[in-house]
A and B are shown apart, each in its own frame.
Chain A
Amino acid sequence: MSLRTPLGSALGRGAAKAGVHHWWVQRLTAIALVPLGIWFVVSLLSLPSLGYSAVSAWMSQGWTAVLLILFVLTVAWHSQLGVRVVVEDYVHGAGPKTALLVLVTYLHVIAAAAGVFAVLRVALGGAP
């Protein structure tokens, strides 16, 4: 006879309450990207030129820099979630799938870090 209570044998075996996390963050970033995406595309199209002086002046404005950083981070996060699902769906075999998922995650973190660094460097006047 086991001395474990029914509760004891059930604890820790149920849902970790994390199943909805991917779905939820995917939606959070999606909602944020509706205004951010429109803002980014419209801003690029309405810049007088895409030359260095116009672009760096634009990026140096306070809210532009903040929104650009939010845009880069949100795109990277949303993209990571999306590409992850595609890899999970279409790449079979635990080895290749895991390797590709790790690679995809790293690439997105690198993209996010580089994007934030670049915006800050221009916005804070650190660009050469």
Chain B
Amino acid sequence: MAERPLSPHLSVYRMHRYTLLTSMLNRITGLALSAGLILLVYWLMAAAAGPGPYAQAESVLALWIFKAVFLVLLAVFSYHLCAGVRHLVWDSGRGLERAQSRVSAYVVLGASAVLFAGLACWWLFSRVLA
């Protein structure tokens, strides 16, 4: 079979740093959230198994490593949400001009940082430090 270019054919694009960054982050955060689905199902199944198994799962999830995981999940949730809304706006045919997409890239980065800061503070003060 002929050697044809395979996706992702990165070399054909001239990528400005913000387009590359926002696109890559959206994929990486999506994958991280997929891993979070495993954690969600583990937590739900623990609740379904009753108070004893749930307490066991709770003590596992209370480990510092999972606190770090939650913090990362809050961060990737914030980013993927904002970047996803940007994609939905694009799907409506708006904001596709280069200048607009450059602005929206920074809006997404800023908005997700603010959202993450808010959620992280909420979580920190209501759970970790409470």
Contacts and interface: CB of A to CB of B under 8 A. Distances in A.
B45 A114 contact: yes
Interface string B78-103: 00010011011001000000000000
A22 to B, nearest CB: 14
Interface of A: 27, 30-31, 33-34, 37-38, 41, 45-46, 50-53, 55-56, 59, 68, 72, 75-76, 79, 82-83, 86, 88-90, 92, 108, 111, 114-115, 117-119, 121-122, 126-128
A127 B123 contact: no
Interface of B: 6-8, 27, 30-31, 33-34, 37-38, 40-41, 44-45, 47-51, 54-55, 58, 74, 77, 81, 84-85, 87-88, 91, 119, 122-123, 126-127
A52 B41 contact: no
Nearest to B61: A50
